[in-house]
Structure 1
Amino acid sequence: MMKIRQLFQKWMLQEDLNFLLTNRIPRITLTRFMGWWSQIRNPWVFKSSMAVWRLFSDLDLSEAKKKEFVSLHDCFTRELQPGARPVDPRVDVLCAPCDAIVGAYGDISQGQVFQAKGFPYTLQSLLGDSAMCDLWPNALEGGKFVTLRLTSSMYHRFHAPADAQLNHVTYISGDTWNVNPIALQRVAQLFCKNERAVLHMQLNDGEPFLIVPVAAVLVASMRLHAVDVLLNLRYRGPNEIACNAHYAKGQEIGWFEHGSTILMFVPRGYEWADGVTTGTRIRMGQALMNRCSQS
């Protein structure tokens, strides 16, 4: 079984084939189908789907709170055992909001950031034409951005990186391009094309920051505890959703139905925590950024 899985994974890592199979397909139709399929509560459907899933991933359920699942969706959105993700308690540290592989990261300069080397996009394009988002490019100028990619086998819930408040959600419907590194190096402004939610956040001291969950092929659904609707391709409600939700550091904000990407943007005054670099695997609760010391 291990050899078969390694063979499939090596086969899928061929860039042209991977891009073709995950992007040159009816992405939205397939994503809607997967949303329906993952909800089926049938032992045969679940077991056969899990067998295929394990072929393409290093799925590890040893930390899951539940040991039995009734559907793919039930497994994808699993909770973890208490204490599985210790949260860095230091008040000057922003911790990782999710389990992820660190992608592009760096400084926000002239309103521009990067999805991959040589592939820039602007904050304004990502945030859209919402009046709620117009002030963010200036507020975040000189700050930091980071791309956190969740693979299909990872824990798919995301959490508050510090004691914070969620003031508003801007939902932006869009496409469902794959967000893996192969696609990010080929499709310009990919994050600005995909479905996403802009979470307008604020630390206890009033400092603003953004968390932007971005959906992808097979994964165009996200749930926020503060919003009593499922945000997905079928959502037809208001794009601007007022919130007043308070979170303790490490408290769960929501989850992806399968997995995708979290983008995080903070204003100037932070530096990267030790060990944060492209390709690093990071777990929810680990130090991501430190507030710069005042000289």
Structure 2
Amino acid sequence: MKRAAMLMRDRLLQQEDLNFLLTNRIPRLALTRLVGWYSRIESPLLARFSIAVWRLFTRLDLGEAKRQRFSSLQDCFTRELKEGARPLASEPGALLSPCDAIVGACGAVERGQVFQAKGFPYSVGELFGDAARAAPFLGGQFVTLRLTSAMYHRFHAPADLTIEHVTHIAGDTWNVNPIALKRVERLFCRNERAAIHARLAEDGRPIALVAVAAILVASLRLHCLDLLLHVDYPGPHELPVDASAQKGQELGWFQQGSTIIVFLPPGFALAVASGQHIRMGEVLARA
């Protein structure tokens, strides 16, 4: 039994090594630009073919999609859902998940640091690109929400919000799957990302959503700015905002899959655990 367990462990490690090599030891930015160009080609026939190939590698379910025919691969990636497909939890005072996701690392923000995986801490100030913007979340909570490629890619307001600022930080496009998170230190701080800073309309407390790009993605649409952020976005990178959003209102979308890290100030308790699958509109945290 012990030998069999060791062989199984070695096999899993070999598979992880192969996955890491295939998705990271390649020209990531060049491939991301190529896939971005390909996904925007307007051809229903090519879109159907691409979706069929995509389904060979993922559990893509379009049963909840508002439309079943798509003009391009990107059109499918950024699909809308049928009305009522994501009901909002009615619990008073609860913050909702902004997206469909698998919960990654989560917990307390301690000494200005959080974790991407066990033994791999990173600085919140470095993630935000500004230590001062990280200060309100010291002693608060964070939760990592990973969107896989087959998931619904739009994200929404977790509560009634006033959006005040967006910081775009150019960077790399490492894969953000668990295998890479266990191997690349400070991965989230290396990748392209956008930090969305807002306040809760109810009491003015701060909240931040950091959208992190990944390989083959690196494209983020923000409705409050009417702007598409991507690897070749020239700037400006500090973007003042004065916009309000109601709980559940769509804030934007990823071109494919990626990660949103939510930061909450002291006074909130998370209602989720690492490894949990969560849908947009379900309870994420409670005051």
Partners of 2:117 and 2:181 within 8 A in 1: yes
> Would you say the 8 A contact 2:144–2:262 is kept in 1?
yes
Q: Distance in 1 between matches of 2:194 and 2:45?
A: 34
For normalisation by structure 2, the TM-score amounts to: 0.93
Amino acid at match of 1:110: R
Aligned to 2:139: 142
Q: Hey, what does 1:262 align to over in structure 2?
A: 260
Taking the aligned partners of 1:137 and 1:230, their CA distance within structure 2 comes to 25
Q: For the residues of structure 2 that align with 1:149 and 1:134, how far apart are their CA atoms?
A: 24
Runs of 4+ in 1 over 3 A off after TM superposition: none
The superposition leaves residues 112-145 of structure 1 with CA deviations (integer Å, 9 ceiling, x where unpaired) of: 00001110001111111xxxx4323321111000
**What is the match of residue 207 of structure 2?**
209
Which of 158, 162, 166 is equivalent to 1:161? 158
Inter-partner Cα distance in structure 1 for 2:119 and 2:235: 36
Contact in 1 for aligned 2:44/2:69 (Cα 8 Å): no
- In structure 2, the partner of 1:182 is 179
Q: Which moved more, 1:54-63 or 1:38-47?
A: 38-47
Q: Separation in 2 of the partners of 1:251 and 1:48?
A: 32
Structure 1 gaps of 5+ residues are: 1-9
| Equivalent residue number for residue 220 of structure 2 | 222
Structure 2: 5+ residue stretches without partners:
1-10
User: What is the rounded CA distance, in whole Å, between the counterparts of 2:16 and 2:131 in structure 1?
Assistant: 37
Aligned length: 276
Name the SS for the 2:87 alignment partner: coil
Q: Deviations over 1:51-91 (max 9, x none)?
A: 22101100000000112111100000000011100111233
CA distance in 1, matches of 2:85, 2:79: 13
Distance 2:198 2:165 in 1: 8
- The residue number in structure 1 matching 2:96 is 95
String of CA shifts for 1:139-186, please: whole Å, max 9, x gaps.
111100000000000000000000011111000010000000000000
Secondary structure at the residue paired with 2:69?
coil
